[in-house]
Structure 1
Amino acid sequence: MKSAFRYLMFAAVLLSPGGMDSVQAADVPMPLFVATPQELSITRSASETTGVSQVSGQSATVLHGDPMKPGLYTVLLRLEPHKRIMPLSHPDSRFVTILSGTFYVAFGDTYDETKLKALPPGGIYTEPAKANHFGETRDEPAIVAITGYGPSGTTYAAPTTPHTATK
């Protein structure tokens, strides 16, 4: 509970007028953007985007900021059906929102399908810095929005094994 409270306080500071001013001042101005999940164009290969898993059949679009640089960023990530993301972590803490589809996520150093929790559209979870997590899609694609404060990156828990799998 203490951990969730810490993230809520962090979000409150960022969303306060002073917090947003400091983020905006340190970052590029935020562009105006309005879209439904169906209107999103996410076509760039995820292999070209820092801070996301490198699953074949995955694409990403950076909406704001630059995950490689210090500052606030948001990335949209699209996963095709039947994709697995093997355990990995990031150097930065992040907040994830499921926009469409269902994404299954869990935390741990090894992939364990019995731990996965189904998150439908509107579902959220946090990725604390350096916390290994894993996930998958099943019969439908999923679009998630990832927001963090860079620089970001990706470290796999088992770098000698394949990072991704098609179920």
Structure 2
Amino acid sequence: MKSIFPCLVFAMTLMTQGHMAEAQDADGSMQIIVASPQQLSVTQSASKTAGVSQVSGQSAKTLYGDPTKPGLYTVLLRLEPHKRIMPLSHPDSRFVTILSGTFYVGFGNAYDETKLNALPAGGIYTEPANANHFGETRDEPTLVAITGYGPSGTTYANPADAPSTVKK
């Protein structure tokens, strides 16, 4: 089993750097990123980003790597208020860090509000490979950083819950 500690260290390094530059050159080399959560611009629709839930009201930006290919990646995901993510899983293990707002996350094959854990900015959780999890935002937008080792993807526990834009 691969250690996920290097992934966490990488994600934390990205988040503690200041103003934001483009995250990655076309050749795949890492750019310097210095940004607070308020300075991060995440406005592109998440509909074409692998490894995220694809619910409406999400935007995403890949900071490093490519979630569709083998290797380390980090994706910023912004969720609008009052968004619910039904149970889903990913083929890769990932770390998630809440950068702003509060994200409510739970684990299991069925959505169960009593299993939600409120994680404010600074909170973290892991998504073990193939572990179904679900979540929601409430009255505020939420920004999270997801770091994993691809390739990634998204599989809903109940296929009927999957938005029609999900690419598996």
Could you state the TM-score of these two structures normalised by the residue count of structure 2? 0.82
d(CA) in 2 for partners of 1:70, 1:117: 31
Report Cα offsets for 1:98-128 as digits up to 9, x if no partner: 0000000000000000100000000000000
Give the direction of change, closer, same or farther, for the CA distance of 1:97–1:13 in structure 2 (3 Å limit).
Answer: closer
Q: Unpaired segments of 5 or more residues in structure 2?
A: 10-26
1:91-102 alignment to 2 at 5 Å?
91-102=91-102
Say whether 1:10 aligns with 2:14. Answer: no
For 2:5, the aligned partner's letter is A
Match of 1:18 in 2: none
Q: What residue in structure 1 maps to residue 81 of structure 2? A: 81
Q: Which amino acid aligns with 2:70?
A: P
> What residue number does 1:40 align with?
40
With normalisation by structure 1, the TM-score equals 0.82
Higher helix content, 1 or 2: 1
Equivalences for residues 66-145 of structure 1 within 5 A: 66-145=66-145
Instruction: Give percent identity, aligned residues only.
Output: 75
RMSD, aligned α-carbons: 2.2
SS in 1 for 2:54: coil
1:24 aligns to what? none
Which consecutive aligned stretches of 4+ in structure 1 deviate over 3 angstroms post-superposition?
12-15, 161-164
Taking the aligned partners of 2:134 and 2:6, their CA distance within structure 1 comes to 27
Q: Deviations over 1:26-61 (max 9, x none)?
A: x93221001111111101111110000011010000
Residue type of the partner of 2:117? K
How many pairs are equivalent? 148
Between the aligned partners of 2:4 and 2:97, the Cα distance in structure 1 is: 16
Unaligned runs of 5+ in 1: 1-5, 16-26
